[in-house]
């Protein structure tokens, strides 16, 4: 790893992504914003490897983006630990919008083409409106789609677009504005580089530049952005440039695999013509019969008569005799193949690349190897070859039979698809229900253009081999449930032959190839089309995105972003797979995916849709500015209706349009609608068939027959208020969302602002079916409002004023005139016609009853906290401000902590032993204190691992990352104050932590006064902030190695806090009263009032070896002591432990189990040597550490046989104790362990209690023990009678 001496400037917002070996996150969406920092760090699987990270994100915004140009990122160190790659990162400062790729590889691992890991990250565009370039957040977008072809002359556009402006939209989506094909479909573009000539006024020749002036005026004066469709997959049949460049479309020359499908397509067309001509009357098929019986007859005729005559299989099978003859000639020339037979080799049909009849082949060399063999039963020569040919013929016929079966299955599927299509068009509800067979309403979609007259099939087949074959072009379309990552027009796809394509007969599918060199004209033409669109508009909508070749989309969008760096890219995707969606989002840099509210079949599904595509949950956790980069769903543009959706008045009811739109407006994402929805147009404004034009805006009162509309038309007044509400919620940070299904038809949506803790609650009465009693409210549960209703932002309903017949306007797209949107805005609760205040509810609650809330009604309430809650939150934020949270008051001013409540100074005054109690202590340690505390336990979920803050942090850190407010911990917090009270109470009972306990008690007192739904987020902020300060304090009290060490070193250092603490029932023996300063810490025994020594001890393990006699083990203590105490700089704790064990020396040994000294066991032969090693390390590491050798040791056992003596009775320097330990070993010792028997080890034999230690004078090695005891680390005594190991030491673990 190389490091840069100049550290990067930290960013205001920082996201960190940990790299993992083998992880390719290409289907995961990561969203960032411009100006944010992104750090990549190494995960455990990459530690120790020399990792190289590359990205195509430019070094600065001044450098042009090139998708194929990567730069290696430089590693930076966050600490002084230069050899510690746990603390390194590479950094990207997000400087431009778009999609960017990263990959990494390590030496000895992957390659650039096959890296060890990869992924994408998206940087959102920054959209601005107005001459002053005011920001428009993505979540504030409200977009209206207009069918450009219905806008009339360009000179009239402003008046028609003013409808969107006055309705409160801030973005308009235009369908293609270029010249259209013969069908006049909005998406069948004839000339991608010219404005549709229908927009031109008489005597004028407007161009795209004239349209651009309107677009700029809308942005600068109206504060409305514009986006336009780009259609990359197809072009109109009549496109003049296709006649000059037929290679740009899939045709029978550049895609000969489509020849059989073309022949089938022509046969079906002739079949249609024959039905019209009456040719099939004898079979019961007539032009005017569209019954189910006719469907069956059509299927039978196709299967028995029409399709078999085509002999489609001949395009895929062999001319057997021709191939056998070729084989015969070569076999005679070559003679028999004498090589050994090679198993696993099989003869297969080699498809003719030109797809001609009976022109498929085989691998003749392989055939000669397999079939040109010796024949023992006949003589050599021609007779042998005849037998070989017969065997080959049999195999070829078998291959042909298999090929026929495959093709037959494809053709049967084709018939199935044809009949299914006819059933929809003829019979199904919701279908068009054709009346007769015509050229327009034919038996099946036409899949190909036909550059000639309709003569006969023979002429059609002959055309395939003529110059006109290049003009037989395949239509585009879509395939239900198809794999979006595969091109259905390329082999081996059989979609065209299987008739699975829902074809668009007015457009042909474009054939790009894999790179611009494959089709230079097409790539150049479409690049110019897209860049010209980006020059005029502020964004693009990718039509039919799921069928867009990814490499093509990348190419043209990269070019567009060079013109419009903050290009807003919207797309529709119908892949039916979120991971596949994410591939397109990542590769194209899609800003928002279109999602459809009309896909919801009921109110519950609609509510779930609003919830899924918008914001954080209400009461979401407060996230630090630097945090892990987490996956997200693609940003959405939720549409109340798209221009592809059927008319909602027909699929639902007219009363549902307002509540549906209201619920969409409450979603925390971009929203949208289509022109006609707000006007209550009672029919589908069809992108193909619609030729009428939209009405213009008028501020005057107008009637139905007028070519203009005003604020009273349809639900425009309601939509304007809803759009204003949606834009304000997005701009003002109301990014927390809660959706409640009140009953079957009523949904409540809450948008909450964390900064102000104000909420907007919208309730909508949906009407998915036409209500039987449109003027009745019915029973609606009351609304419990968490706070005070400041005002009713709006209340609106759709009311039928008349019941006249629907008059269809022949010239204009017009809505229903008999329905009126009644709306009132910014009124007080007491003025409402829909609701009334029932009573004051519980604390912090108001209860609102629905008095008149009929189907189609919506109401939006603005809610704030009551004064006591507001004051409590202000106190909480003041307390939190000292933790580094950028807290502000409700007025927006920066909060500072009041003097006397400084959390950091409180913690600084605490010892590390006190902090052990604050952060850690397992259940057994806590209970050992006898203060009636143990680990906190959530009912039915079990206790936490630690009693201290770490127990809560370990759970909270996972909850916080995903905002899992449904977690049992959050539920426990909402249900009561037990958890905060526990945290404060356990600290209050100990002198060393009492001050901190009071701080928590005070802060948690404020916490109790806020609404229950906010308690988890503030509780987490308090605990996380406190935890962060405590960790900083811990490290500040440790050695320079820890203070300046890596994050990994600091994390390891916390083990010192975990394992080292003071417990009541596992004390060190009292140290010498004459010990030089610093003296051991003391405390007052609350029960006796006496002063007692309060030294820390090391737990041998948590939780089982944490208390009582099982806590302090000599071997475990001194193996761990250098790492837990000496390296972190806790020299005094180490000193006291070394001296305490020295006091217990007996028989030249220190205790195995300390037992406070008076209950020690001396059955460990190696602990004394670990102890001696620690003394040596102490002298080496600690400044003036050698002075410990002069420290006085109060011998608990002055002699090996003496009883325990009081501290100070017999004292000697530590160096003398060391000498005695060495001397005793050299002299040798034999003793029986005290209290030998089952009371101290129920499984050991008596011989095991006999100890013998000494030194082998010939080798210098120490020895000790016997076969019946276990004096080393393998000290588990066997205990099983069944396995026969009872009383046998050192059983394997």
How far is the first Cα of the chain from the last one, in angstroms, to the nearest whole number?
A: 40
Question: How, if at all, do strands 626-628 and 14-19 pair?
Answer: parallel
Closest CA to 655 of 768, 743, 748: 768
Outline where DSSP puts E strands in 73-136: 76-77, 88-93, 98-106, 117-123, 128-129, 134-135
**Alpha carbon of 594 to those of 570, 586, 602, 671: distances in Å?**
7, 15, 20, 9
Nearest Cα neighbor of 820 from 988, 655, 1048, 591 is 655
How far is CA 203 from each of CA 89, 156, 160, 820, 870, rounded to the nearest angstrom? Answer: 65, 15, 21, 41, 66
Half-sphere exposure of 496 (CA within 13 A, CB side): 30
Say which of 52, 546, 684, 752 is annotated catalytic: 546
Tell me if residue 211 falls in helix, strand or coil. helix
Angle, CA of 336, 341 and 342, to the nearest 5°: 130
Structural tokens at position 658: 């307002």
* CB count in 10 Å sphere of residue 997: 19
Q: Whole-angstrom Cα distance, residue 1224 to residue 635?
A: 77
Report d(CA 422, CA 294) in Å as an integer.
10
Residue 903 near residue 882, CB atoms below 8 Å? yes
For residue 644, indicate whether it is catalytic: yes
**Both structure tokens of 39:** 């750090």
Q: Which of 210, 644, 818, 1200 is catalytic?
A: 644
DSSP state letters, 408-442: HHHHHHHHHHHHHHHHHHHT-TTS----S--SSS-
DSSP summary character for residue 73: P
Please tell me the distance from the alpha carbon of residue 247 to that of residue 236, in angstroms, as a whole number: 15
Contact of 297 with 481, CB cutoff 8 Å? no
Give me the residues paired with residue 1146 across strands: 1149
What does the DSSP 8-state code read for residue 1247? G
Q: What is the largest CA-CA distance in the chain?
A: 126
Nearest CA among 478, 257, 482 for reference residue 355: 257
- Bridge partners, 763 (sequence order): 748, 859
DSSP string, 584-652: HHHHHT-SEEEEEGGG--SHHHHHHHHHHTS-EETTPPPPPSEEE---BPPPEEEES--TTSPPHHHHS
CA nearest neighbour of 57 among 78, 76, 32? 32
| Two structure tokens written together for 207 | 């161009």
970: left (phi over 0), alpha (psi -120 to 50) or beta: alpha
- C-alpha closest to that of 1032 among 895, 945, 946, 919: 919
- Could you tell me which residues come within 8 angstroms of residue 319 by beta carbon, excluding any fewer than 6 positions away? 358, 359
Task: Tell me how far apart the alpha carbons of residues 1108 and 275 are, in angstroms, rounded to a whole number.
Answer: 98
Cα separation, 36 vs 124, in Å, equals: 11
Active site residue 546: yes
Give the DSSP per-residue string, 1117-1152: HHHHHIIIIITTT-HHHHHHHHHHHHHT-BTTB--S
Task: In the chain, count H helices and then E strands.
Answer: 31, 51
In the block, which residue shows the tokens 């990792």?
Answer: 51
Catalytic residue among 543, 581, 1116, 1241: 543
Compute the distance between CA of residue 128 and CA of residue 542 in angstroms, rounded to an integer.
21
Catalytic site positions: 543, 546, 644
């Amino acid at each position: 790893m190389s490091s840069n001496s100049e550290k990067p400037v930290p960013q205001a917002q920082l996201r960190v992504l940990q790299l993992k070996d083998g992880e390719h996150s290409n289907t995961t969406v990561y969203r960032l914003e411009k100006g944010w920092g992104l750090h990549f760090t190494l995960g455990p699987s990459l530690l120790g490897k020399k990792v190289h990270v590359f990205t195509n994100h430019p070094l600065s915004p001044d450098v042009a983006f090139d998708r194929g140009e990567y730069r290696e990122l430089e590693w930076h160190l966050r600490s002084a630990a230069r050899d510690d790659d746990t603390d390194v990162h590479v950094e990207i400062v997000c400087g431009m919008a778009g999609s960017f790729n990263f990959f990494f590889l390590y030496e000895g691992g992957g390659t650039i083409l096959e890296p060890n890991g990869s992924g994408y990250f998206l940087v959102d565009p920054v959209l601005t409106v107005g001459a002053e370039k005011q920001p428009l957040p993505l979540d504030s977008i409200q977009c209206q789609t207009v069918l450009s072809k219905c806008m009339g002359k360009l000179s009239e556009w402003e008046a028609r677009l003013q409808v969107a402006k006055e309705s409160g939209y801030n973005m308009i989506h235009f369908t293609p504005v270029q010249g259209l094909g013969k069908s006049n479909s909005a998406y069948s573009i004839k000339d991608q580089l010219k404005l549709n000539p229908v927009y031109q006024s008489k005597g004028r020749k407007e161009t795209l530049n004239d349209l651009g002036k309107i677009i700029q005026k809308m942005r600068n004066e109206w504060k409305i952005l514009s986006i336009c469709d780009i259609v990359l997959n197809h072009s109109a049949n009549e496109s003049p440039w296709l006649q000059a460049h037929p290679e740009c479309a899939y045709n029978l020359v550049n895609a000969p695999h489509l020849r059989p499908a073309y022949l089938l397509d022509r046969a079906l067309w002739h079949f249609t013509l024959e039905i019209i001509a009456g040719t099939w009357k004898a079979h019961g098929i007539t032009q005017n019969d569209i019954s189910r019986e006719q469907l069956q007859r059509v299927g039978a005729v196709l299967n028995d008569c029409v399709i078999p005559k085509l002999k489609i299989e001949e395009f895929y099978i062999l001319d057997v005799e021709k191939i056998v003859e070729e084989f015969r000639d070569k076999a005679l020339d070559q003679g028999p193949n004498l090589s050994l037979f090679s198993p696993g080799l099989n003869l297969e049909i080699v498809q003719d690349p030109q797809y001609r009849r009976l022109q498929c082949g085989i691998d003749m060399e392989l055939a000669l190897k397999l079939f040109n063999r010796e024949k023992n039963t006949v003589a050599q020569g021609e007779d042998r070859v005849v037998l070989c040919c017969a065997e080959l013929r049999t195999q070829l016929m078998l291959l042909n039979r298999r090929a026929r079966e495959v093709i037959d299955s494809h053709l049967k599927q084709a018939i199935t698809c044809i009949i299914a299509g006819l059933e929809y068009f003829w019979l199904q509800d919701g279908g068009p229900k054709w009346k007769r067979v015509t050229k327009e309403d034919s038996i099946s979609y036409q899949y190909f253009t036909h550059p000639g007259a309709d003569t006969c099939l023979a002429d059609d087949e002959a055309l395939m081999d003529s110059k006109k074959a290049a003009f037989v072009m395949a239509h585009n379309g879509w395939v239900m449930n198809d794999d979006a990552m595969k091109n259905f027009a390329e082999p081996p796809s059989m979609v065209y032959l299987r008739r699975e394509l829902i074809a668009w007969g007015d457009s042909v599918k474009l054939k790009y190839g894999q790179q611009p060199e494959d089709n230079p004209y097409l790539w150049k033409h479409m690049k110019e089309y897209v860049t010209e669109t980006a020059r005029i508009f502020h964004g693009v909508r990718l039509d039919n995105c799921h069928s867009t070749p990814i490499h093509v989309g990348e190419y043209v969008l990269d070019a567009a972003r060079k013109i419009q760096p903050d290009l807003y890219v919207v797309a529709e995707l119908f892949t039916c797979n979120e991971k596949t969606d994410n591939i397109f989002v990542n590769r194209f840099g899609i800003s928002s995916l279109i999602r459809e509210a009309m896909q919801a079949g009921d109110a519950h599904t609609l509510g779930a849709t609003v919830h899924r595509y918008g914001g954080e949950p209400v009461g979401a956790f407060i996230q630090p500015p630097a945090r892990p980069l987490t996956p997200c769903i693609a940003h959405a543009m939720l549409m109340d209706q798209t221009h592809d959706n059927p008319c909602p008045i027909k699929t639902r009811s007219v009363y549902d349009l307002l509540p549906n739109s209201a619920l969409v407006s409450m979603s925390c994402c971009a929203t949208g609608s289509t022109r006609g929805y707000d006007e209550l147009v009672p029919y589908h404004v069809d992108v193909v068939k619609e030729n009428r034009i939209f009405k213009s805006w008028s501020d005057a009162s107008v009637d139905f027959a007028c070519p203009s509309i005003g604020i009273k038309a349809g639900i425009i007044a309601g939509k304007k208020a809803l759009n204003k509400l949606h834009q304000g919620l997005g701009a003002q940070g109301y990014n927390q969302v809660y959706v409640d299904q009140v009953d079957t038809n009523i949904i409540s949506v809450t948008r909450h602002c964390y900064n102000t803790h104000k909420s907007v609650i919208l309730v909508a009465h949906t009407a998915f079916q036409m209500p039987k009693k449109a003027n009745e409210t019915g029973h609606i549960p009351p609304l419990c409002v968490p706070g005070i209703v400041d005002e009713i932002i709006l209340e609106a309903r759709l009311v039928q004023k008349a019941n006249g017949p629907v008059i269809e306007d022949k010239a204009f797209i017009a809505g229903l005139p008999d329905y009126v949107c009644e709306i009132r805005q910014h009124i007080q609760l007491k003025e409402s016609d829909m609701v009334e205040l029932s009573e004051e509810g519980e604390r912090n609650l108001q209860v609102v009853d629905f008095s008149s809330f009929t189907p189609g009604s919506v109401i939006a309430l603005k809610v704030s906290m009551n004064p006591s809650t507001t004051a409590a939150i202000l106190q909480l934020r003041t307390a939190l401000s000292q933790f580094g949270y950028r807290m502000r008051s409700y007025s927006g001013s920066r909060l500072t902590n009041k003097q006397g409540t400084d959390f950091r100074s409180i913690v600084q005054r605490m010892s590390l032993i006190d902090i052990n109690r604050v952060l850690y202590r397992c259940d057994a340690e806590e209970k050992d204190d006898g203060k009636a505390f143990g680990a906190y336990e959530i009912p039915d979920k079990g206790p936490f691992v630690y009693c201290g803050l770490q127990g809560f942090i370990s759970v909270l850190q996972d909850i916080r990352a995903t905002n899992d407010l449904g977690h049992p911990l959050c539920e426990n917090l909402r249900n009561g104050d037990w958890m905060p009270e526990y945290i404060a109470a356990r600290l209050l009972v100990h002198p060393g932590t009492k001050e901190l306990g009071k701080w928590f008690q005070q802060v948690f007192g404020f916490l109790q006064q806020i609404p229950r739904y906010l308690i988890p987020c503030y509780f987490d902020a308090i605990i996380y902030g406190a935890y962060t300060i405590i960790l900083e304090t811990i490290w500040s009290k440790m050695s320079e190695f820890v203070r300046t060490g890596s994050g990994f070193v600091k994390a390891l250092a916390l083990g010192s806090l975990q394992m080292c603490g003071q417990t009541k029932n596992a004390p060190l023996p009292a140290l010498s009263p004459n010990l030089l300063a610093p003296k051991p810490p003391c405390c007052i025994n609350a029960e006796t009032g006496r002063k007692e020594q309060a030294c820390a001890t090391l737990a041998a393990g948590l939780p089982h070896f944490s208390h009582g006699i099982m806590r302090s083990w000599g071997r475990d203590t001194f193996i761990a002591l250098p790492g837990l105490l000496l390296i972190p700089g806790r020299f005094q704790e180490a000193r006291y432990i070394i001296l305490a064990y020295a006091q217990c020396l007996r028989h030249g040994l220190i205790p195995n189990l300390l037992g406070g000294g008076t209950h020690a066991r001396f059955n460990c032969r190696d602990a004394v040597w670990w102890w001696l090693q620690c003394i040596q390390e102490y002298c080496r590491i600690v400044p003036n550490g050698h002075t410990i050798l002069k420290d006085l040791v109060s011998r608990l056992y002055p002699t090996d046989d003496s009883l325990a003596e009081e501290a100070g009775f017999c004292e000697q320097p530590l160096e003398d104790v060391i000498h005695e330990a060495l001397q005793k070993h050299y002299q040798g010792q034999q003793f029986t362990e005290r209290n030998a028997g089952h009371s101290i080890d129920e499984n050991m034999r008596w011989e095991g209690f006999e100890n013998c230690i000494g030194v082998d004078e010939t080798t210098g090695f120490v020895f000790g023990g016997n076969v019946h005891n276990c004096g080393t680390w393998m000290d588990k005594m066997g205990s099983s009678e069944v396995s026969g190991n009872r009383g046998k030491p050192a059983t394997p673990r």
